[in-house]
């Protein structure tokens, strides 16, 4: 396991744009199934009217104060949500991710999010970091792509409470590395096409994220996103072609900003490789989200 401290540039350097932040620990919380509205090519995927968060916002009084403070309500800049007002001073860096893969499966979007290309092969960030001796943990109800990450510590979690508890417990024992949690219950409610249950479950996830944030230090980066969308108000498909949310938070920064609509969910992989980059690793990192913070 790596025991050194990753470099921490001063705030003055950050303001001058001379460098960008790096973090000892990165936590990725995948609120799988949460989407932000149909992408331009959604008609090809029979999802032109899909809008997971937008439909919930129209039907229910959403109770997500933690995500609201982080900037969830700021992402939709031209047509604000009814029940998630934009934060005046958002704590997080926020934006949207595009899905580029043409396969509408959970595995395909996870591959786009976490795989990267070297000159002679394609690797997953999980196994790459693990082989570089960073502690790497996956907590999820496993699907095939996640189960294939055999170099990592894999922890099965059938419900949200267990998943967040195991995340926090492992975080306390981790000096540096990556923890990925895929929230299981929200996506299950989405497959049942139960929008009211989905809204209630999203509120519970919001409270769990608040608890997680209280345990973080200034050398931690929390990335909240979704690996696929599934609008529970949209009965036609199990997976809907939507923009995906992106929120990044670190206690090191008291005010975030908009980071735009990213061209690919693969920017997550670029960010992780950029943060934990090994000397001599030849990987293009221009899409790293660290350079937008």
For 107-136, b where at least 16 C-beta lie within 10 A, e where not — what string? bbbbbbbbbbeeeeeebbbbbbbbeeebbb
Q: What secondary structure does DSSP assign to 192-215, as a single string?
A: TT-HHHHHHHHHHHHHHHHHHHTT
pLDDT digits (tens, 9 = 90+) for 130-146: 988 999 999 998 777 88
- Band of pLDDT at residue 7, cut at 50, 70 and 90: very low
pTM of the model: 0.91
Total residue count of the chain as it appears in this document? 293
**Of the candidates 160, 134, 165, the residue with the CA atom closest to the CA atom of residue 32:** 160
The fold adopted by the segment(s) 27-292 is: Alkaline Phosphatase, subunit A (3.40.720)
* pLDDT of 16 strictly over 80: no
**Per-chain mean pLDDT for the chain:** 89
Lowest mean pLDDT among 21-25, 91-95, 170-174: 21-25
pLDDT digits (tens, 9 = 90+) for 24-71: 999 999 999 999 999 999 999 999 999 999 999 999 999 999 999 999
Lowest mean pLDDT among 2-16, 74-88, 233-247, 250-264: 2-16
- Band of pLDDT at residue 279, cut at 50, 70 and 90: low
């Amino acid at each position: 396991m790596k025991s050194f401290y990753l470099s921490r540039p001063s705030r003055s350097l950050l303001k001058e744009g001379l460098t960008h932040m790096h973090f000892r620990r990165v936590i990725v919380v995948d609120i799988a199934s949460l989407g932000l509205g149909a992408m331009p090519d959604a008609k090809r995927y029979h999802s032109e009217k899909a809008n997971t968060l937008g439909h919930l916002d129209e039907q229910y009084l959403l109770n997500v104060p933690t995500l609201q403070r982080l900037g969830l309500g700021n992402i939709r800049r031209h047509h604000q949500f009814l029940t998630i007002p934009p934060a005046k001073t958002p704590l997080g860096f926020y934006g949207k991710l595009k899905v580029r893969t043409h396969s509408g499966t959970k595995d395909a979007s996870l591959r786009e999010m976490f795989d990267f290309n070297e000159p002679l092969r394609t690797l997953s960030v999980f196994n790459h970091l693990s082989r570089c001796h960073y502690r790497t943990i996956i907590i999820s109800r496993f699907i095939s792509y996640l189960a294939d990450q055999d170099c990592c510590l894999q922890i099965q979690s059938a419900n949200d409470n267990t998943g967040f508890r195991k995340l926090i417990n492992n975080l306390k024992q981790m000096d540096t590395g990556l923890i990925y949690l895929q929230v299981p219950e929200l996506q299950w409610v989405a497959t049942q096409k139960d929008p009211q249950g989905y809204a209630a479950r999203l509120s519970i996830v919001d409270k769990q994220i608040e608890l997680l944030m209280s345990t973080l230090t200034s050398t931690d980066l929390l990335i909240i996103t979704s690996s696929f969308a599934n609008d529970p108000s949209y009965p036609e498909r199990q997976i809907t072609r939507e923009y995906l949310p992106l929120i990044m938070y670190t206690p090191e920064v008291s005010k975030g900003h908009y980071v735009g609509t990213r061209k690919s969910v693969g920017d997550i992989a670029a960010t992780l490789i950029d943060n934990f980059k090994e000397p001599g690793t030849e990987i293009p990192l221009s899409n790293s989200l660290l350079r937008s913070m």
